[in-house]
Amino acid sequence: MGGRGAVLACPGDMSRSGGVAIRTRHLGRRFGPSWALAHCDLEVAVGESLLVAGANGSGKTTLLRLLAGLLRPTTGSIEIFGLEARAHRLACRRRLSLVSHQAFLYERLTALESLRLWARIRGGRANDAALGALLEEVGLAERRDSLVEAFSAGMRKRLTLARARLEEPDLLLLDEPFSALDVPGRRLVERWIAEGAARGATVLLASHQLEQAAVVCRRAIVLRRGQIEWEGAAAEAAARFEATA
């Protein structure tokens, strides 16, 4: 995210058109008889950092997975940078990255091999020197040749964040990015989000750590039972969430 220059160069036009990065209309997702998300109308401007707050089961992860294209909506529509997400799934996917609870890492690969593989999957170019520098940035330089299966939860989170950093996406979806990280790791996430915002990236950050998230987000929404219950300044989200929990 900015500063050091892109490690991964992806083909295609990645220019930003300005305006709205995310637009959802009547978005909903049902699992069996239960609605995890319902009647979600949301707009996020290009370059904005939005905090998504709410209790467990409020719909935060469902919203991010819908935006990432990992779930199909039961109702409604999603636009990513002006493109209808279902009709232009691959084009939308190239412009975003999701850091979720599930790391989706290959256990039998090393940290360096994991980044090499991801660079190939994304169709970009990256050399070992650049990937090694990225691993050093996330504090994994000494474990670059260690298998992921031996990594702690915090180390897995750092590798997942390195993968997102590798992509330098226009849209970054973060699901509890501060969890499992020590203080230096959390400060690194804060710095990366700030650098991403400086280069015009859009960020959605779902977190229970509202005061920390408010450092890097200006606006917030609070979800309750799958619906947007409140919208306002991120600095006020903690008090609002406690009042409605």
In a domain, 133, yes or no: yes
Confidence of residue 35 (pLDDT cuts 50, 70, 90): very high
pLDDT tens-digit readout, 188-232: 999 898 888 888 999 999 999 999 899 999 999 999 999 999 999
Domain encompassing residue 151: 106-168
Inform me whether the pLDDT recorded for 183 exceeds 60. Answer: yes
pLDDT of 142 = 96
Per-residue three-class SS string for the chain: CCCCCCCCCCCCCCCCCCCEEEEEEEEEEEECCEEEEEEEEEEEECCCEEEEEECCCCCHHHHHHHHCCCCCCCEEEEEECCEECCCCHHHHHHCEEEECCCCCCCCCCEHHHHHHHHHHHCCCCCCHHHHHHHHHHCCCHHHCCCEHHHCCHHHHHHHHHHHHHHHCCCEEEEECCCCCCCHHHHHHHHHHHHHHHHCCCEEEEECCCHHHHCCCCCEEEEEECCEEEEEEEHHHHHHHHHHHC
In a domain, 233, yes or no: no
pLDDT of 245 = 55
In a domain, 157, yes or no: yes
In a domain, 238, yes or no: no
Inform me whether the pLDDT recorded for 18 exceeds 70. Answer: no
pLDDT tens-digit readout, 118-141: 888 877 667 899 999 999 999 999
In a domain, 74, yes or no: no
Mean pLDDT score, 176-191: 91
- Quote the number of domains for the chain: 1
In a domain, 124, yes or no: yes
pLDDT tens-digit readout, 64-120: 999 999 999 999 999 999 999 999 999 999 999 999 877 788 999 999 999 999 888
pLDDT of 2 = 36
In a domain, 111, yes or no: yes
126 vs 40: which has the higher pLDDT: 40
Confidence of residue 8 (pLDDT cuts 50, 70, 90): very low
In a domain, 53, yes or no: no
Mean pLDDT score, 43-50: 96
